[in-house]
Structure 1
């Protein structure tokens, strides 16, 4: 009986600590992110993952999983900490996914780079000064990523790829999620170029809301290059028009509906049902 009581106390303590941690995060998001009310974050019911940032901040996720899911989609915001609108849009989309269930298992990571996001001022890079979207292990990374950084960016510190591929806990976490979750699609939200990019084997979406397809190229160490080109996981890269301001609520909903429509056309009825995967790590 005592052991059962101790287990109950432990679980209750973990639950309370998790709720308190999420509440603190929502306070931080409300203070930092554009167009994010505290209630929007609270309704998202984000869960802290076991993974941590360089500075030890939890990486939060949210799964929305119907019983009849046919697709798995990973949505990532805040890879670059100064692209505040990307994390905001991910939070708004969690609400839309909850409001209109579909045959899709959504996994949201609204702020992959919390250290960059909560810096004063916010920074593109993580706490080690690494551009996480140049740190993925694309082929020939050790030759191509440093060369591109030195020659094409003129050693721009905002675009440093790091000393080695996957040198950062945040980029490692995404690769682990790709291996564990096995998404049919990755949606990576960025800013501020106001366009739509795509890498992968499918026919790309022509538009999402007011954003039109304009494939900008392939970069050593980028998620689109790693996931879409070399792993065959289609990657939709959304470049919002502003890093500091979200599109209107109506426009975010149009983008969401266009994404859902394209998924239905390109990934829907003919997609094989994949085997169940474990729930997200808490």
Structure 2
């Protein structure tokens, strides 16, 4: 005869199940910051996404969350990929689409790459009510990375080009913000072989760094926008030699259809499979590492013309057209 557990035992079992299901406080706080604003991501979506505290916090103390898709033994991954959303707080779709792609990885992660996924960096900007581009200190995080002659070029870019636009204020010094400091430390520690960052609403693929850029990813065509002082593409792509693919979704407040986001993901993984094959310290014999331009070597933003201007004019847009590129970003 099987005896049913009494009320006291049932109560203990229920309490134990609740304790197991209770998310870590930092995960719950980070998910509240995301799901509390994003219409396409529920609290349950976020809590079930396998996110963990990443060790960083925003200016206002919100925890940055991260999901790791590690190597799967015995397969050796082709490389490490950092996937990043939400650098600008008012680009809602750049946060939400990351959750869609994490669900794809949940099913199809094969160990081809070691992924590190951050659905949102600028949680304070997202929660500003209404959301804003900058962080809680009013700094554009995508102009706060350490690029050569940063102080000189912030004058040219922010003062002369943007007319002191507060949405694009780079701060008083590079890496002045906890969010950019954290991302910098992640790049140093993880040593990604490619960085994929999502923005909106220009509806293009931008590219910085070595390798041949993709002509298009899904419904997004290549349009190289140029290198900007303090941008992630400038810092990691041009100065660290890490390919940086910037996916500019067409709408900040409207998600791409499932078919559109799936096509972008499919083409992105195909491009990575072709072009990210060896970690930097495991290059085939005779292959030179990408050139790194160190601070203080007289680098100018105009030097990016010699890097981006193609010999054949076929694949890469002329990113020396800096007036045009700035105009695109300021509209």
Please indicate the TM-score interval, normalised by the length of the shorter structure. 0.7 to 0.9
- How many Å apart are 1:144 and its aligned residue? 0.3
| Alpha-carbon shift at residue 36 of structure 1 (Å) | 2.1
Distance 1:28 1:200 in 2: 33
Q: Are 2:208 and 2:233, in contact at CA under 8 Å, matched by a contact in 1?
A: yes
TM-aligned CA deviation for residue 273 of structure 1: 8.6
Question: For the residues of structure 2 that align with 1:252 and 1:143, how far apart are their CA atoms?
Answer: 39
Match of 1:104 in 2: 113
User: Contact conserved, 2:30 with 2:64, CA < 8 A, in 1?
Assistant: no
The match for 1:4 is none
Q: Is the 8 Å Cα contact of residues 27 and 63 (structure 2) preserved in structure 1?
A: no
Bigger RCO (CA 8 Å, 6+ sep): 1
What is residue 3 of structure 1 aligned with on the other side?
Answer: none
CA distance in 2, matches of 1:98, 1:72: 17
| In 2, Cα distance between equivalents of 1:245 and 1:151 | 32
Which residue is 1:220 aligned to?
229
Deviation of residue 97 (structure 1)?
A: 1.2
CA deviation after TM superposition for structure 1 residue 24, in Å: 4.5
Segment of structure 1 superposing worse, 43-52 or 156-165 = 43-52
C-alpha distance after superposition, 1:194-232 (max 9, x if no partner): 000000110011111100000011110000001000100
Note closer, same or farther for the CA distance 1:15–1:61 as it changes in structure 2 (3 Å cut): farther
Deviations 1:151-195 (A, max 9, x none): 000000000000000000101111101110000000010000100
Match of 1:62 among 67, 75, 97: 67
Aligned-residue offset at 1:16 = 7.8
Q: What corresponds to 1:6 in structure 2? A: none
For the Cα contact (< 8 Å) 1:18–1:47, is it kept in 2? no
* Structure 2: runs of 5+ lacking an equivalent: 1-18, 283-331
Q: Please report how far the alpha carbon of residue 66 of structure 1 lies from its aligned counterpart in structure 2 after TM superposition.
A: 2.6
Taking the aligned partners of 1:227 and 1:200, their CA distance within structure 2 comes to 8
CA contact (8 A) 1:190 1:238 kept: yes
Q: Which piece of structure 1 moves more, 49-58 or 120-129?
A: 49-58
Tell me what 1:11 maps to: none
Larger radius of gyration: 2
Partner residue in 1 for 2:96: 88
8 Å contact kept, 2:33–2:62:
no
- Structure 1 alignment gaps of length 5 or more: 1-13, 276-282
Q: Show structure 1 runs of 4+ deviating over 6 A.
A: 14-17
Instruction: Quote the offset at 1:91 in angstroms.
Output: 1.3
State the match for 1:76 in structure 2: 84
Q: Which residue of 2 aligns with 1:9?
A: none
Deviations 1:53-102 (A, max 9, x none): 11111111110113232310001111000001001011111111121013
Deviations 1:88-117 (A, max 9, x none): 011111111121013111101111010001
